Amino acid sequence: MAKKPTYEELEQKIWKLEQQIVTLNQTQPTLRENNKNLRLLSEGEFKRTNDTLRTLFNSLPGIINVVDTDFNVLDVSSGFIDAFSKLEEKKVIGQKCYGFGDGPR
């Protein structure tokens, strides 16, 4: 059978737990600030990467469109918009890829 802790041992455990709570409360604001900074850094990195990929995508020669499994247009390159001069990018996104009329000019 397990030995029951003494009153003094329980008091010592309570004191240690209270000290841990104080330490956690002191570090919590720092952790929140670090988390906020990491999130901002991640958002900045994501934007830079996205901008770089967008520039690369639009600088590729040719007509490029990205479609999903249902043939909906998800994205088009600037070369695509140039080839289909009568179309606007915002009107193409979400349309079926086979519904662009007579084709490129």
Q: What tokens does 1 get?
A: 């059978």
**What pLDDT shows up at residue 40?**
84
81, amino acid identity:
I
Cβ–Cβ under 8 Å, residues 64 and 57: yes
**What pLDDT shows up at residue 16?**
92
pTM (predicted TM-score): 0.52
Query: Tens-of-pLDDT digits for all 105 residues of the chain?
Result: 778 889 999 999 999 999 989 888 888 888 888 888 888 888 888 888 989 998 998 898 888 889 999 989 899 888 888 887 777 777 888 888 887 655 554
The domain containing residue 45 runs over which residues? 8-59
Per the structure, the count of domains in the chain is 2
**Same domain? 47 vs 17:** yes
Domain termination residue (choose one: 22, 40, 59): 59
**Same domain? 16 vs 27:** yes
**What pLDDT shows up at residue 15?**
92
Separation in Å, CA 69 to CA 11, 16, 19, 57, 73: 65, 59, 57, 20, 10
